[in-house]
Structure 1
């Protein structure tokens, strides 16, 4: 039995389907090898289905449910519907062929998240970046990228921000190191405008922003940036995302999520409170304008 021919980046629904199929196989007391013997589905294919790498075709899914003894029609219909919805990418589908697979995977998760907790040590979080700031960050970070690649990434980054403006917006809690406020990205005008947008965003009821001042010394976030995403459906466990020079990494084991959640809590305690953080941003904007660089 074959999988859906088109490879799609994992989505929240595909991840939920994979978890449910793992659970059903475990409850049926079957190994992947035993399921393979009974269904003729390759064990490697079963592994990819159970780890949300691919979506099973309908006949593959039906064979798995038959083997697991799932006869309840409502349950079968629910899983079939979940499978059909698993590859719905919305606006992201426009950029699917232009963006790296792991980046589209991240965006698909972020789009459906209930809350995002983001720590950044070097630059303004993507959800709060202006277009000019984003261009400067992307061009510097990808020196070999074509203008088309840069344009696609900028557009995708700006489209991501719609999650903050929808009727039921993502709840964003972001913590940045003070270095983010002082680093010039693009021109001084671009940097000042970005900080003004950051200060304004921090006043929104669904956005919390904190700054870790230099005088706080060493802190728990110094090893690097990370994102923790929570989802509305209890069946979708929290997820940690790390973007580094070594590549993108997703962590979903409970121990890993707990470790990064604890780290974020330490950063919350170390950082300035939200009101003081806005004042720190405004003070830096004033310094830039005093030097005449924002004109």
Structure 2
């Protein structure tokens, strides 16, 4: 178990690594060089260059400088930005976090690490309250209802981990959270009326925080650009780090890391936000549904 978790910690997040490798790949192609040329400059193998360009392994500062020299990049500002990217990626790969206490949730480790490092999360949900705003009882009822657990005892670690994530909303560097939910989320009786009343109260409480924005997309909007799927956009402050999009289906959890994907999902999120009720009106609707329960 120890070795497996250590290996996971080394590769838990490669978003910045892929960003750095992608930039160096474009530089190499722009000057008409191939991977063997880069391998010779680094006195390494072509296989290693391929891994570096795909962000699969961390990159040392001397390697960054050597490749920049090979590709004719002499601008110190550009080189400095790439070096900062490389350092941020190395630091993140080595980082251990609270999620290491939950080996049952290994599939979520990369998301937990990214969320821990993110400065802003924008979440659009069609069917349930975003995890960062869930109460323990709501999270538990959701997990049991999904029937995703072969062993029911794994539900409690899942609930504990979901609550631990919420520390980011109250710590020294609070996460900026913008959550938009379809009105159907408010009416779905996850766990029954008592659980839902407490969950809706929790939404109203969290919406009062200055760094949390909660909006509801009402039924009356009709067709809207978010009907296809729910998604989450994570944003980072590190130099050169692009937004990252996560979207889940029944079959697979997808990471979308290209600039085009990030811009597209950000634009869709903004359109959904414009169609949604303002935060004050959203809170009024949440409170109205809560009182009906």
Q: Secondary structure at the match of 2:104?
A: coil
Matches within 5 A, 1:262-273: 262-273=267-278
1:241-282 deviation per Cα after TM superposition (whole angstroms, max 9, x unaligned): 111112111112222112111111111111111111001111
Larger proportion of helix: 2
1:188-216 deviation per Cα after TM superposition (whole angstroms, max 9, x unaligned): 21111111001111111111111111122
Partner of residue 12 from structure 2, selected from 9, 15, 37: 9
Shift in Å at residue 125 of structure 1? 0.2
Matches within 5 A, 1:127-166: 127-166=132-171
Shift in Å at residue 23 of structure 1? 5.8
Q: Secondary structure at the match of 1:106?
A: helix
Q: Secondary structure at the match of 2:242?
A: coil
Distance in 2 (CA, whole Å) between partners of 1:171 and 1:281 is 21
Structure 2 counterpart of 1:31: 34
1:99 matches 2:102: no
Distance in 1 (CA, whole Å) between partners of 2:211 and 2:64 is 42
Q: Secondary structure at the match of 2:94?
A: coil
Q: Secondary structure at the match of 2:200?
A: helix
RMSD between superposed Cα atoms in Å? 2.9
Structure 2 counterpart of 1:257: 262
Matches within 5 A, 1:188-267: 188-267=193-272
Distance in 2 (CA, whole Å) between partners of 1:232 and 1:79 is 11
- TM-score scaled by structure 2? 0.82
Distance in 2 (CA, whole Å) between partners of 1:231 and 1:93 is 19
Partner of residue 86 from structure 1, selected from 82, 92, 101: 92
Does the Cα contact within 8 Å between 2:233 and 2:246 map onto a contact in 1? yes
Describe the shift of the 1:116–1:63 C-alpha distance in structure 2 as closer, same or farther (beyond 3 A).
Answer: closer
What stretches of structure 1 of length at least 5 have no aligned partner?
Answer: 289-295
Does the Cα contact within 8 Å between 1:138 and 1:150 map onto a contact in 2? yes
Shift in Å at residue 152 of structure 1? 2.7
Describe the shift of the 1:96–1:12 C-alpha distance in structure 2 as closer, same or farther (beyond 3 A).
Answer: farther
What stretches of structure 2 of length at least 5 have no aligned partner?
Answer: 1-5
Describe the shift of the 1:83–1:286 C-alpha distance in structure 2 as closer, same or farther (beyond 3 A).
Answer: closer
Residues matched between the structures, number: 278
Structure 2 counterpart of 1:52: 55
- TM-score scaled by structure 1? 0.82
1:123 matches 2:128: yes
Deviates more, 1:145-154 or 1:169-178: 145-154
Describe the shift of the 1:143–1:178 C-alpha distance in structure 2 as closer, same or farther (beyond 3 A).
Answer: same
1:39-59 deviation per Cα after TM superposition (whole angstroms, max 9, x unaligned): 34243x433332333335x6x
Describe the shift of the 1:27–1:121 C-alpha distance in structure 2 as closer, same or farther (beyond 3 A).
Answer: same
Describe the shift of the 1:141–1:65 C-alpha distance in structure 2 as closer, same or farther (beyond 3 A).
Answer: farther
